[in-house]
């Protein structure tokens, strides 16, 4: 019979690295939302730095368990996917050996699906996989060697995801890519949009002081918020700001903020590359490390050339400072192309601010572009343009004129748009609907899972025989333990193993 839906579920999230990116924001929001609905929630992760995570994690508003962090994340700047896979497997094996794996009714796994077959085999919980985007499309393949290196991981992604009971994706754009790329996964995914919290974050006094120091009383600023990764194309914001009229206005600045981890080589290199772009355009810049500022805000020495700087780089801002910057910006410049969804535009719109984004990928589902004939003035939330600095510069200038003519337009339109479609309540409700569908269906028993289980037990069987030649009693004990815990496939295997002659 299909399993009945329980009022109170024990739900576990498994996420590789609980930093401050969009995927991490979704996990934290979903965990908090499900917890508020009365469910028991735990987030399992391979890494969580309390100085590089969201405020809710710092304040321990949801339980977080770290396992596997003793393993490195890379070797000589390479093999990231290999070590991410190993770290996740160590995490799941720890859950299995400690018995915690059987305490959960549901596992919600995202980003990396390698652990899904192990959860399927070692527990009776249902598994929902949240696909932000196929991992194989995120990897670079600049040489034949890299292509060969990625092949087994691409196959693992498809095979392992097939062990899920249910799959959801973050946008219709990702769903269309899912069908094209993950053709071995015979599951029709639903869309669960990420959310933004509609609650106002309490702004810290030290953040207000910082903003007042870097932006004068008669100044204004445009804002870019992204992780410091090349695929985010942050130079588009720098170039378009420079070529716009605002780039020539002494009162205007560009603030480039986002996640920055000195452990990640690309973060370090890309920030330096962006600073070079600013210099080549003839502008001055300053850089502020927010984590260092937040430790000793009273004693922190700000760059001496702040007033002359046209571009300010601020690394790893807190939720408090990010909210403050979004509340006071003229416009968000959201630069990534073919972004799978993009949460920052929603955060800007929540505060009644317009968004300039690239006209492809996720923003097509979140940003409603102002039409030239103003035919959609009741619903527009910003501008969508091709990723060309000249067209973006024109859109920045157009937004200035538009806001002069319609000073309260975005303040009224944008928060309502976000609340109706992208609030935490809307996302949690969508999660619950999909969880209910998953629980009302029979648990998927994959033939591949059965064969994999038998193969693993066969390897263990042969290993025990090598150490203990006469092991029939041991095998019978193992069979009893498996059957008693409800794992019937391995139980039957070990009964068969115990019946074989070992003389």
Residue 488: C-alpha distances to residues 123, 353, 368 (Å): 11, 57, 53
Give the whole-angstrom CA distance, residue 27 versus residue 104: 17
Amino acid 501: pLDDT: 73
User: Would the pLDDT of 304 be above 90?
Assistant: no
**Where residue 149 falls among pLDDT bands split at 50, 70, 90?**
low
Answer yes or no: are the C-beta atoms of 150 and 139 closer than 8 Å: yes
Q: Are strands 252-258 and 311-315 parallel, antiparallel or unpaired?
A: parallel
Question: What structural domains does the chain harbor?
Answer: 10-195+426-440 (3.40.50.2000), 205-422 (3.40.50.2000), 448-499 (no CATH)
Answer yes or no: are the C-beta atoms of 89 and 104 closer than 8 Å: no
Tens digit of pLDDT for each residue in 316-363?
Answer: 999 899 999 999 999 999 999 998 888 899 999 999 999 999 999 999
Tens digit of pLDDT for each residue in 67-109?
Answer: 988 888 878 877 888 888 899 999 998 998 888 999 999 999 9
Tens digit of pLDDT for each residue in 182-226?
Answer: 877 888 899 999 998 888 778 999 999 999 999 988 899 999 999
Strands of the 40-45 sheet, one edge to the other? 63-66, 40-45, 10-15, 106-110, 126-131, 166-169, 190-191
Q: What is the DSSP string of 94-108?
A: HHHHHTGGGG-SEEE
Amino acid 373: pLDDT: 65
Residue 431: C-alpha distances to residues 11, 37, 428, 441 (Å): 12, 12, 5, 16
Tokens 């930093």, residue located: 19
Instruction: State phi, psi for 109 to the nearest 5 degrees.
Output: -110, 140
Give the whole-angstrom CA distance, residue 472 versus residue 307: 80
Nearest Cα residue to 185 out of 500, 470, 448: 448
């Amino acid at each position: 019979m299909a399993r009945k839906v329980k009022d109170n579920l024990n739900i576990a999230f498994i996420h590789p690295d609980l930093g401050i990116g969009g995927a991490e924001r979704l996990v934290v929001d979903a965990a908090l939302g499900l917890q508020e609905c009365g469910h028991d929630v735990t987030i399992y992760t391979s890494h969580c730095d309390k100085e590089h995570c969201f405020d809710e994690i710092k304040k321990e508003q949801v339980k977080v368990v770290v396992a596997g962090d003793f393993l490195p994340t890379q070797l000589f700047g390479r093999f990231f996917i290999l070590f991410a896979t190993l770290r996740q497997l160590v995490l799941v094996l720890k859950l299995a050996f400690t018995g915690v794996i059987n305490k959960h009714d549901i596992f919600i796994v995202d980003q990396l699906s390698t652990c899904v077959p192990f959860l399927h085999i070692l527990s009776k919980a249902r598994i929902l996989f949240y696909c932000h985007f196929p991992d194989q499309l995120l990897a670079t393949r600049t040489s034949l060697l890299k292509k060969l290196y990625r092949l087994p991981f691409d196959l693992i992604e498809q095979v392992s995801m097939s062990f899920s009971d249910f799959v959801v994706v973050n946008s219709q754009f990702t769903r269309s890519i899912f069908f094209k790329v993950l053709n071995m996964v015979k599951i029709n995914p639903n869309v669960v949009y990420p959310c933004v919290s509609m609650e106002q974050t309490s702004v810290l006094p030290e953040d207000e002081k910082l903003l007042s120091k870097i932006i004068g009383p008669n100044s204004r600023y445009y804002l870019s918020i992204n992780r410091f990764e090349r695929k985010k194309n942050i130079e588009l914001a720098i170039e378009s700001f420079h070529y716009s009229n605002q780039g020539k206005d002494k009162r205007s600045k560009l603030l480039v903020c986002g996640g920055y981890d000195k452990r990640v080589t690309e973060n370090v290199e890309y920030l330096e590359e962006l600073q070079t772009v600013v210099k080549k355009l003839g502008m001055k810049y300053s850089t502020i490390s927010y984590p260092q500022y937040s430790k000793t805000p009273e004693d922190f020495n700000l760059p001496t050339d702040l007033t002359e700087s046209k571009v300010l780089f601020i690394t790893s801002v807190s939720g408090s400072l990010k909210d403050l910057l979004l509340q006071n910006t003229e416009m968000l410049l959201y630069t990534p192309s073919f972004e799978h969804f993009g949460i920052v535009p929603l955060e800007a719109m929540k505060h009644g601010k317009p968004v300039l984004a690239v006209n492809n990928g996720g923003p097509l589902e979140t940003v409603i572009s102002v039409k030239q004939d103003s035919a959609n003035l009741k619903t527009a939330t910003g501008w969508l343009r091709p990723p060309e600095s000249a067209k973006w510069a024109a859109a920045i200038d157009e937004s200035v004129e538009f806001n002069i003519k319609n000073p309260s337009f975005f303040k009224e339109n944008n928060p309502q748009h976000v609340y109706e479609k992208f609030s935490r309540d809307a996302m949690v409700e969508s999660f619950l609907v999909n969880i209910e569908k998953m629980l009302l269906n029979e648990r998927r028993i994959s033939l591949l899972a059965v064969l994999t289980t038998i193969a693993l037990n066969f390897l263990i069987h042969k290993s025990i025989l090598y150490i203990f030649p006469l092991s029939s009693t041991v095998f019978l004990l193992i069979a009893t333990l498996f059957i008693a815990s409800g794992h019937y496939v391995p139980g039957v295997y070990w009964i068969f193993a115990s019946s074989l002659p070992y003389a």
